[in-house]
Structure 1
Amino acid sequence: MSTIHHLDHSSVRGQTSGSVLQSIRAEGRVQGLLFELSVEQCYRNDGDENIEAVYTFPVAWNAVLLGVECVIGDKVLHGTVIAKSDGERRYEAALEEGDAAVMVERASDGMYTVNVGNLLAGEQAIIRFRYAQLLTFAHGQVRLVVPTKVDPSVKTLSRLV
């Protein structure tokens, strides 16, 4: 078993004024031909209004998303797979009721979008996701590619609640 050293990109905020993405941390393990990656993204609303943070991130093309969780204050929310239309309806209903809500959806092959809705002024949200992929052995070598996107310009939408 090998451990891939983690990336701790806590200087993201300084790159773009007003960004809610504070830090990204990733850590991976290779065991045989199985690669697992855990990623943690920390968001903080330093503004005066509630916001919705929207961030798109890549996952290796042949990987399986194993789990998603979000920590907001003392609440820990765990992701469950449901029909897209039902998820969108429940997400919007939570926002209309003034509750914090998180929605992760597959945007396209290898791309996922996380929406953190109703992030209160001064509040922090930590998103964690894990995925696994089976590596291939070819020509006496194993190749590991970890797609990344570190973009501090997380889209924020102000919402009136």
Structure 2
Amino acid sequence: MTHQQLVTVRVFTQRLSATPRGARLARRLAVNQLHAWGVPHGTDVSDAVAVIVAELAANAVTHGRVPGRDFELRLSLVTGSVRVEVTDTRGDPRPPGPADVQAVPPLADSGRGLVLVSALADRWEVVDRQPPPGKTVRAEVDLPGRPAMVRVSGPVTPGT
């Protein structure tokens, strides 16, 4: 008889208005949901997810906004990590991915969002929205003391 390990995946999904208020609400919803899942406010994971959600939501509102369309926040508590996904419906152009992020001059007025995401996330990527148009920026933050997933995308399976 083969024994399979049970994996509990918790998911929170919310569509938000593509406005600065919607971006602020995304951050608050994320930290409150993490707290409900047992990741307390003020921990390194909660703080990292808060910054990642704030940056990705701000980008969705600023660069991915299509008038009359919302953006979506999706959080998943998967084996060993918290996955953050922010999806917008703008189909052009694709934002820079992890390999494209460069340091920003100290006095620059903008350009630090994805640098912060790169610094705080253990993994992140940009994928096409399904169904098109649009894109999803997906980031994961590992939970201390729990085995991490190796891949960001694909089905959630233990030990991959």
With normalisation by structure 2, the TM-score equals: 0.34
**TM-score, normalising length: structure 1:** 0.33
More strand per residue: 1 or 2?
A: 1
Of the two structures, which has the highest relative contact order with CA contacts closer than 8 Å and spacing of 6 or more? 1
